[in-house]
Homo-oligomer: A and B are copies of this chain.
Amino acid sequence: MTDPQPADGAADARMWSRLNALHAQVESRLATALQRRHGLGLSEYRALGFLAEAARGELRMQDLASGLGLNQSSVTRLVARLNEAGYTYRDLCPDDRRGVYTVITEEGRTRRREARATYEETLTAALEEAAGATPALGALIAGARRSLG
């Protein structure tokens, strides 16, 4: 089929600008809610999520980095914060002593479970609000739910 809306630089820029505004607004609300209600940063919450869903609750730094879209040094410090909070601990890789596993603790799982409710409620509310405020965004969000939900 022919593309009904072919790629166009200026149009893409306008579209991306809108998407950007939506992204910034939603992420900001998520960050504020998590920080205020659970003392967790957004990257920290997402890291706990990845760990909680990984096999045996552990991941190597590198896998965490790619999952979070952060670079390796950021993850080093992120995990240091999680360790200090008691949500994770380090475990050496037995077969490759260069490797380090970060393992989520029970306390970490609990924290994540609690925060998850906040995250999902805030997210849905923020999306609904944005959709209500701007019809075009409403269409976009509905489409995203259809294709990515």
Q: Which residues of A contact B (CB under 8 A)?
A: 3-5, 7-16, 18-21, 23-28, 69, 117, 119-121, 123-124, 127-128, 136-137, 139-140, 142-149
Contacts and interface: CB of A to CB of B under 8 A. Distances in A.
The SS class assigned to the A binding surface is helix
Contact of A12 (B3, B117, B124, B136): B124
Contacts of A9: 117, 120-121, 123-124
Contact of A7 (B10, B119, B127): B127
Interchain residue pairs A-B with the least CB separation, the first 6: A9-B120, A143-B143, A11-B149, A139-B147, A5-B145, A24-B69
Nearest to A131: B7
16 contacts: A3-B142, A7-B124, A8-B124, A8-B149, A9-B123, A10-B120, A11-B145, A11-B149, A13-B120, A15-B148, A16-B127, A21-B69, A23-B23, A137-B147, A139-B146, A139-B147
A12 B69 contact: no
Contacts of A123: 9, 12-13, 16
A52 B122 CA distance: 35
B69 A149 contact: no
Q: For the complex formed by this chain, how many copies does it contain in all?
A: 2
B149 A140 contact: no
